Amino acid sequence: MAASTRTTRILWIGVAFLVLIGVAAVARRAIVLLGLGTLGSGGANPAATLDAGFAPHKWLTLIHILPGALFLTLATLQFLPGIRQKHLNFHRWGGRLLVVLGLIIGVSALVMSFKMNIGGPNETAATTLYAIVFLFCLIKAYLFIRMKNVVRHREWMIRMYSVGLGVATTRPIVGAFFAFRRLTPHEFFGIAFWLGFTITFMAGEFWIDYTRSHGTQAIASGDSIEAAPTIAAH
């Protein structure tokens, strides 16, 4: 039995919401870092503390977040039903680009974990662990598609993508901490990263397990594209 339309629709709504949050967060951060506007970062606005933490490492931050926004957008397109069937060349070239973007994001995340951390050791631990997980999933997904094992490739792609979405998930969590103001950014930023990454990673594992039990084996023969994005051409 295939995954239900309702469940799939709910999943896509959640993913689209997180992608929009992630891209919007990148746009705001880039505008502030490049001096194109303050966007509420001055005065007593609690976001000013976070802006001040990123400012000394402007170019490192931009090297990380700009490819990150492109990654979230492009990776989402890789999952869309019909893209691989109707636009195979775009799918394959998009996959190659995702590999490059993923390496830039993962490596820069590791550097940022130690050069700049608003949340102290707790944030460093969270971002270091999940940056390593992200890179590991990327490499596994690449190796499996080179072996033409689409089923295993799909699963590692979902894991990688879920880690990437974790950054967007931290944004509403940070917003909630700001709203209640019971902890300082130094105290809650690390907690927010642990929660954000873990929630989406667990959601990714749930989806892998759910689609396994609802019959996605057909993707091995290319019958189902919804569950089988490809990051590199065969």
Q: State mean pLDDT over 5-31.
A: 90
Residues of the chain with pLDDT > 70, as a percent, come to 84
Band (pLDDT 50/70/90 cuts) for residue 45 is: low
**What stretches of the chain adopt beta strand conformation (E)?**
none
Asked if pLDDT for residue 180 goes beyond 60, the answer is yes
| 190 vs 219, residue with greater confidence | 190
Rounded-to-integer distance, Cα 158 and Cα 81, Å:
15
> CA 51: distance to chain centroid?
21
Look at residue 160 in the predicted model and tell me its pLDDT. 96
Q: Is residue 149 part of a domain?
A: yes
| 53 vs 61, residue with greater confidence | 61
Residue 1: half-sphere exposure toward Cβ, Cα within 13 Å: 5
Look at residue 187 in the predicted model and tell me its pLDDT. 81
Q: State mean pLDDT over 119-128.
A: 92
Q: Which residues contact 161 (CB under 8 A, 6 or more apart)?
A: 75, 79, 204
Asked if pLDDT for residue 207 goes beyond 80, the answer is yes
Host domain of residue 69:
5-221
Q: State mean pLDDT over 82-90.
A: 78
Look at residue 90 in the predicted model and tell me its pLDDT. 84
Q: Is residue 137 part of a domain?
A: yes
Asked if pLDDT for residue 67 goes beyond 70, the answer is yes
Lowest pLDDT segment from 87-91, 131-135, 160-164: 87-91
Q: Is residue 105 part of a domain?
A: yes
Q: Is residue 212 part of a domain?
A: yes
- In the chain, the number of structural domains is 1
Q: Is residue 226 part of a domain?
A: no
Q: State mean pLDDT over 164-182.
A: 86
Look at residue 118 in the predicted model and tell me its pLDDT. 81
Q: State mean pLDDT over 160-179.
A: 90
Q: Is residue 96 part of a domain?
A: yes
Judged on CB neighbours under 10 Å (0-12, 13-18, 19+), 166 is buried
Rounded-to-integer distance, Cα 126 and Cα 190, Å:
7
Going from the C-alpha of 25 to that of each of 41, 66, 140, the distances in angstroms are 13, 11, 29
Rounded-to-integer distance, Cα 137 and Cα 150, Å:
14
Max intra-chain CA distance, the chain? 58
Asked if pLDDT for residue 42 goes beyond 60, the answer is no
The single residue listed with the structure tokens 């065969």 is 234
Q: State mean pLDDT over 19-33.
A: 92
Q: Please calculate the CA angle 210-212-218 and round it to the nearest 5 degrees.
A: 130
Asked if pLDDT for residue 203 goes beyond 80, the answer is yes
Q: State mean pLDDT over 32-56.
A: 72
Look at residue 69 in the predicted model and tell me its pLDDT. 95
Look at residue 39 in the predicted model and tell me its pLDDT. 61
Q: Which residues contact 86 (CB under 8 A, 6 or more apart)?
A: none
Lowest pLDDT segment from 112-116, 117-121, 207-211: 117-121
Rounded-to-integer distance, Cα 114 and Cα 116, Å:
6
Give the residue from 168, 60, 153 showing the smallest Cα distance to 107.
Answer: 60
Look at residue 120 in the predicted model and tell me its pLDDT. 87
Global pTM reads 0.83
Judged on CB neighbours under 10 Å (0-12, 13-18, 19+), 175 is middle
Q: Is residue 230 part of a domain?
A: no
State whether residue 149 is helix, strand or coil.
Answer: coil
Q: Is residue 130 part of a domain?
A: yes
Rounded-to-integer distance, Cα 110 and Cα 108, Å:
5
Going from the C-alpha of 183 to that of each of 119, 124, 195, the distances in angstroms are 11, 18, 15
Contact 73, 210 (CB under 8 A): no
